[in-house]
């Protein structure tokens, strides 16, 4: 899925818009759960959303990239099944997801855990975390 743009003005936060848009687009299939904000990169913010499938209860993740410019939010959805190249989801978020049998999903989740553990270790020993 490519980028979608929506004029929103300035009276809604990007995180609130991501929640609204996810419920609007995906609410007929999923319950939108926890939303975690990741790092900003290249003028983008990454959000990680836990989605609980209504008919089965299976919980998966979606990475949502956003850019905001002149009252417009640009948004791109990347399901974990596509192996997103964003790995800022915290361990607690990864642990809230259902067990997977997909190698791609497993690799993405383990990379998120690895990144989080490295950040925690660097913070513990006082290194600059970039």
Q: How many residues does the chain have?
A: 130
pLDDT value at residue 38:
86
pLDDT value at residue 107:
98
pLDDT value at residue 130:
53
Neighbours of 77 (CB within 10 A): 21
- What are the extents of the domains in the chain? 4-125
pLDDT value at residue 2:
86
Gap between the Cα atoms of 73 and 69, Å rounded: 7
How many CA atoms, within 13 angstroms, populate the side-chain half-sphere of residue 127?
Answer: 8
Q: Along the 130 residues of the chain, how does pLDDT read in single tens digits? A: 689 999 998 889 999 999 999 999 999 999 999 999 987 677 789 999 999 999 999 999 999 999 999 999 999 999 999 999 999 999 999 999 999 999 999 999 999 999 999 887 756 566 665 5
* Alpha-helical runs (H) found in 45-102: 91-95
pLDDT value at residue 127:
61
Asked whether 46 and 6 are in contact (CB, 8 A), the reply is no
pTM flag (> 0.85): yes
Gap between the Cα atoms of 33 and 129, Å rounded: 28
Looking at 26-58, which runs of residues are DSSP E strands?
Answer: 30-41, 44-53
pLDDT value at residue 44:
87
């Amino acid at each position: 899925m490519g980028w979608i743009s929506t004029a929103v003005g300035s009276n809604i936060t990007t995180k609130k818009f991501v929640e609204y848009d996810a419920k609007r687009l995906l609410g007929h299939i999923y319950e939108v759960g926890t939303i975690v904000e990741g790092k900003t990169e290249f003028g983008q913010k990454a959000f990680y959303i836990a989605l609980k499938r209504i008919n089965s209860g299976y919980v998966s993740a979606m990475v949502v990239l956003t850019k905001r410019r002149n009252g417009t939010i640009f948004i791109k959805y990347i399901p974990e099944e596509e192996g997103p190249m964003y790995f800022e989801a915290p361990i607690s978020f990864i642990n809230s997801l259902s067990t997977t049998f997909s190698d791609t999903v497993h690799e993405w989740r383990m990379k998120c855990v690895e990144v989080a553990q490295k950040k925690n270790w660097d913070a513990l020993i006082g290194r600059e975390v970039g």
